[in-house]
Structure 1
Amino acid sequence: MVSKAASPVVKKIVTLLERFPKDRIKHHATFRSSQIERFCSIGGVATPKDIIEERKQQDEAKKSTLKINTETIKQALFPEEQKSVNYQKDMFTDDILTQQYRSLKNIYESKWEKYYKIDKKLLVPKGNPNYYVRLLNDLEKGGQEKEGLFPAFKTILTGKY
């Protein structure tokens, strides 16, 4: 079970996760917010206000995309109140939480990206040298801008990006 000694480790994990960048492309759930909620629940730490607001926005986005309101169906079938997510807190010992912290820190600092550098042959393949450049440009735009009509036809006809 998470002891009082594990609480500082959980606080360190949550502060590290808060420094993670927000996702460029909006999803129904993000790694950053879901992990912050998870570790706040495990360690008994208060969930930050921005994460609560982000969760509300995600729930609103889900409601607008769903044609069938699943919440009303669940309430009709299961009239009991929805229980909060219960993580198995006894599985998270101090050692496991410190390992989680180290792993998240390695991800945050891009340790493995620096250790295993990607070769230019993979980044610029001979068959389609513009593929990754175009992919990164689309990510920079955040998936918001659409491709024009003529470039789309060119892509379809030539098969090259």
Structure 2
Amino acid sequence: MSAVIREAASQLVKSLEKLPQERVKHIVSLKESQLERFKAVAGLETNTQDAKQRPSMQDIKDIINRTSGPLGMQKEAMAKVNSMLPQEHYSVEALQEQTHAVNDLLNNKYKNYYSVGDKLMKPQGNPEYYQRLMDEIEGKQKETFWSAMRTVVFGK
């Protein structure tokens, strides 16, 4: 890859590293998966422990391409799998667009543009609903069994 593409990818990696950790743990983290993907393009080292344990997309492509039929697959099925794998071609413009999009997320551009008013955030029927959800996600206040039952029965 050219030096310009590597530089654009390293700019994207710097922006991705600024993203906060996800509050709710998932099987796959958007931040970690994108960092792994673009560090390879930028020529940087990936230092995640999970990356060593599971195969990357490039490893999977290599396995498929070097064998005529892994796991007893027929040639037609292999051709179909090969055609379904994403072919990534990076351009400077595409990487700059992605960097711009990540920076917009970091600056809360869309949160500020599409602001939600109190009418939606504190509905008249249950004004504490969203605040209780956020407290539960952030681990501030754990609801007990009895308070959860009270919420279900009375709605507040």
TM-score, with length taken from structure 2: 0.71
Provide the secondary structure at the position in 2 that maps to 1:152.
helix
How many pairs were matched up? Answer: 129
Query: 1:27 corresponds to which residue?
Result: 26
Query: 1:147 corresponds to which residue?
Result: 143
Could you tell me which of 95, 98, 101 is aligned with 2:96? Answer: 98
Query: 1:112 corresponds to which residue?
Result: 110
Q: Residues 1-161 of structure 1 correspond to what in structure 2 (within 5 A)?
A: 2-47=1-46, 49=47, 52-53=48-49, 55=50, 78=71, 88-90=87-89, 92-141=90-139, 147-158=143-154, 160-161=155-156
TM-score, with length taken from structure 1: 0.69
Which has the larger displacement, 149-158 or 32-41? 149-158
Asked whether the equivalents of residues 8 and 95 of structure 2 are also in contact (C-alpha less than 8 Å), the reply is yes
Asked whether the equivalents of residues 136 and 142 of structure 2 are also in contact (C-alpha less than 8 Å), the reply is no
Unpaired runs of at least 5, structure 1 = 60-76, 80-85
Aligned-pair CA distance for 1:127: 1.7
Cα distance in 2 for residues equivalent to 1:94 and 1:108:
21
Cα distance in 2 for residues equivalent to 1:146 and 1:124:
20
Cα distance in 2 for residues equivalent to 1:130 and 1:116:
21
Cα distance in 2 for residues equivalent to 1:109 and 1:130:
27
Cα distance in 2 for residues equivalent to 1:43 and 1:135:
39
Structure 1 stretches of at least 4 aligned residues deviating more than 4 Å after TM superposition:
none
Structure 1 residues 88, 133: CA separation in 2 closer, same or farther (over 3 Å shift)? same
Structure 1 residues 156, 118: CA separation in 2 closer, same or farther (over 3 Å shift)? closer
Asked whether the equivalents of residues 123 and 132 of structure 1 are also in contact (C-alpha less than 8 Å), the reply is yes
Cα distance in 2 for residues equivalent to 1:148 and 1:45:
47
Q: Write the letter of the residue equivalent to 2:120.
A: L
Cα distance in 1 for residues equivalent to 2:143 and 2:33:
32
Identity %: 29
Unpaired runs of at least 5, structure 2 = 55-69, 73-84
Higher relative contact order at CA 8 Å, sep ≥6: structure 1 or structure 2?
1
